Structures are given as C-alpha cells and as structure tokens.
A = this chain, B = another copy of it.
Amino acid sequence: MKHNTLQHELKKKQPFEIPEQEAILNIVRTSDQFQNRFGRLFREHGLTSSQYNILRILRGEGKPLPILEVAGRMIQVVPAITGLVDRLEKQELVERKRCTEDRRVVYVAITADGLKLLKELDEPLNELHKRLIGHLTKSELRQLSRLLEKARQSLSKD
C-alpha cells in the first residue's frame, strides 16, 4: 500500500483543489527531501551542500572564476558567497587571487586538496542519485526533466 501522495504525507484532510498548487508543493517537497539526503552525504565528508556546489563549479570550469561569477551560477545572493568561500579557504580547498588588471575582482580557484575531495565524492554521489531516483525509467526521467524545464520558462520573463 503506497501513500506517497502529498495529501497523505501532509495529513491534509481535503484533496488539492488546484493542480498548480499541488505540482509546486510536490516540487518543493521532493527537492527538500532529496537535498536532505545529499546534505548528509556531504557532511560525512566535512562539506555542506553549498560548499560542494562551489567546488563542483570550479572543477567544471577548470580555471579560476571571479567570485561573483561563482555566485551567479548558484542562484546565490551575493553576500552569502563571501562567507562560503572564507570557510572553504580555511579548509584549503580553494584559493583567492586578486586580479591584477582589475583590482576589484577576486578570483577563486580550487586546490589539489579540493579536487581530491571531489573525486572521493564522485562515486558515492552517483550511487545516491541512482538510489533516489533510479527506479524511474529513462523515459520517465526525460519526461520529468522536460516538464521541469518547461515549468521554469515562467521565470525567464523578469
């Protein structure tokens, strides 16, 4: 007997009247619960989700990035990024380098230690992905991604 519908999970007495609302709550709830699991995994390796994200962006880019460029790729508000990078720097997982041409700009680069830590996480992360959502067929996964991308189209307008 499966009871994974939102109505049941939230102990709602009435079914959802508005499918838009139901879909959005489903998105948010699923995201929260998945992020919980990832958070646990990261914590076991001394990282938070946001810290991991910064490292992954830097590895993906392959070269130092201005600190606000990193923030931009995370949908993150500007002030938050400073403290994040501070803590990563303290753990020696990234380095700050001031740009010589434009002295306002601060570059962030991932260190060898940072790369090593990411590498340790690659396999467990892949396993977690499969465990969380591997029971959907490839076709369902494609469809889910397509629907979510379509959902986000309402955001580009402003």
Residues of A near any B CB (own CB < 8 A) = 2, 4-6, 10-13, 18-24, 26-37, 60, 73, 75, 126, 129-136, 138, 140-145, 147-156
Contacts and interface: CB of A to CB of B under 8 A. Distances in A.
A130 B149 CA distance: 16
Nearest to A69: B11
Contact of A31 (B10, B30, B140): B30
A136 B149 contact: no
Contacts of A145: 6, 19, 22-23, 26
A29 to B, nearest CB: 7
Copies of the chain in the assembly? 2
Q: Which of A10, A11, A30, A150: most chain B Cβ within 10 A?
A: A30
A147 B140 CA distance: 7
Contacts of A23: 133, 136, 141, 144-145, 148
Given A26-B148, A148-B30, A152-B29, A129 B20 contact: yes
A31 B33 contact: no
B19 A60 contact: no
B29 A35 contact: no
Contact of A32 (B11, B19, B31, B34): B31
B153 A4 contact: yes
Contacts of A33: 75, 152, 155
Contact of A133 (B20, B132, B149): B20
A19 B155 contact: no
A75 B25 CA distance: 13
9 contacts: A19-B142, A20-B134, A22-B141, A23-B141, A28-B34, A33-B152, A33-B155, A132-B151, A144-B144
